[in-house]
């Protein structure tokens, strides 16, 4: 594809969401002014932008805390989910014992556990990491188990005919086949991980964007709350983009059909 074709494709993909975002920001700015909404109640985007510029250093200091908690919790979730998923696939006993507990754990509102974690482990980074893990490991486990189970039985039989051991089948066939499902779960978990970090900070912390939002909200510093939300959104999008980039690199040798997008309409 030539340079012009690549540019045209990029514009066709990015122009609609960018135009929609700009339109919403302009409408927000105009409506706040026309309706004479008090800025402490709903600040316009221009005021939020000024707050971001004025408090940039303050925001970045707390963003680093939240980012560290998110990355650590997200990494632990991946490792935990990988181990649980492998155990569920390898052992029927593990599946019957652990899998129902994993499902049941999601019936408990995780936000209600945050105050208990503060009591049990304190207000340091440990409690936030645990909350993030509780938020994120479930979608990774479910997607990875579904991917490992979706392997074609005929392919498994062929590997066995060629003398492959169960471990070789798992490593050479099942894991590569499960990667698309695995990354689908990672994308969900990447966004949810930021929510978990904020909730953990909200209930007990002395730093982080969640703590900053809590303090600013109590002082009616609404523009600062929105500024923190903007930074949190950027953090979530950056983590999501990192997962997407890793997915493209890991699946670069897959057949084109693996990355094909199916649409029901022409647009």
Task: Label residue 99 exposed, middle or buried (CB < 10 Å: 0-12, 13-18, 19+).
Answer: middle
Q: Is residue 142 part of a domain?
A: yes
Report the distance separating Cα 194 and Cα 128, nearest Å.
Answer: 10
Phi-psi region of 37 (alpha: psi -120 to 50; beta: other; left: phi over 0): beta
Task: Name residue, tokens 């014992």.
Answer: 97
Q: How confident is the model at residue 257 (pLDDT cuts 50, 70, 90)?
A: very low
Q: Is residue 169 part of a domain?
A: yes
How many CB atoms sit inside 10 A of residue 50's CB?
Answer: 14
pLDDT tens figures, 168-207: 888 888 888 889 999 999 999 999 999 999 988 888 778 8
**How many independent structural domains does the chain possess?**
1
| pLDDT given for residue 173 in this prediction | 86
Q: Is residue 56 part of a domain?
A: no
CA 7 and chain centroid, separation: 29
Percent of the chain with pLDDT over 90: 40
Q: Is residue 219 part of a domain?
A: yes
DSSP, collapsed to helix, strand or coil, labels residue 190 as helix
The model carries a pTM of 0.84
How many CB atoms sit inside 10 A of residue 29's CB?
Answer: 15
- State the CATH number of the domain containing residue 231: 1.10.3720.10
pLDDT tens figures, 21-33: 899 999 999 999 8
**Mean pLDDT, rounded, for 68-85:** 93
CA 76 and chain centroid, separation: 14
Q: Which residues contact 242 (CB under 8 A, 6 or more apart)?
A: 190
Q: Is residue 41 part of a domain?
A: no
Q: Is residue 104 part of a domain?
A: yes
Q: Where are the alpha helices (DSSP H) in 35-124?
A: 45-54, 56-90, 92-105, 110-121
Report the distance separating Cα 172 and Cα 47, nearest Å.
Answer: 55
- The range of the structural domain enclosing residue 72 comes to 67-251
Q: Is residue 27 part of a domain?
A: no
More confident residue, 229 or 109: 229
**Is the separation of the CB atoms in 147 and 190 below 8 Å?**
no
Q: Is residue 11 part of a domain?
A: no
Query: For the residues of 51-72, what is the DSSP string, one character each?
Result: HHHHTHHHHHHHHHHHHHHHHH
């Amino acid at each position: 594809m030539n340079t012009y074709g690549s540019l045209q494709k990029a514009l066709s993909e990015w122009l609609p969401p960018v135009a929609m975002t700009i339109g919403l920001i302009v409408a927000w700015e105009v409506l706040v002014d026309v309706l004479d909404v008090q800025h402490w109640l709903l600040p316009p985007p221009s005021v939020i932008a000024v707050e971001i510029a004025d408090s940039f250093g303050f925001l970045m200091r707390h963003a680093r805390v939240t980012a560290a908690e998110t990355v650590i919790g997200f990494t632990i979730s991946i490792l935990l989910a990988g181990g649980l998923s492998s155990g569920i696939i390898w052992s029927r006993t593990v599946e019957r014992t652990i899998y129902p507990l994993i499902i049941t754990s999601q019936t408990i509102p995780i936000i209600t556990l945050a105050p208990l974690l503060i009591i049990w482990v304190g207000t340091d980074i440990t409690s936030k990491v645990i909350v993030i893990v509780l938020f994120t490991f479930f979608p990774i486990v479910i997607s990875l188990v579904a991917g490992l189970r979706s392997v074609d039985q005929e392919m498994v039989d062929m590997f066995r005919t060629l003398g492959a051991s169960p471990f070789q089948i798992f490593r050479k066939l099942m894991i590569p086949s499960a990667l698309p499902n695995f990354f689908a779960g990672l994308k969900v978990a990447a966004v949810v991980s930021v929510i978990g970090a904020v909730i953990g900070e909200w209930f007990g912390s002395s730093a982080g964007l969640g703590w900053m939002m809590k303090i600013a909200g109590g002082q009616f510093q609404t523009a600062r709350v929105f500024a923190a939300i903007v930074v949190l959104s950027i953090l979530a999008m950056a983590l999501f983009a990192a997962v997407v980039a890793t997915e493209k690199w890991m699946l670069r040798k897959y057949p084109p059909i693996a990355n094909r997008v199916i649409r029901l309409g022409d647009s």
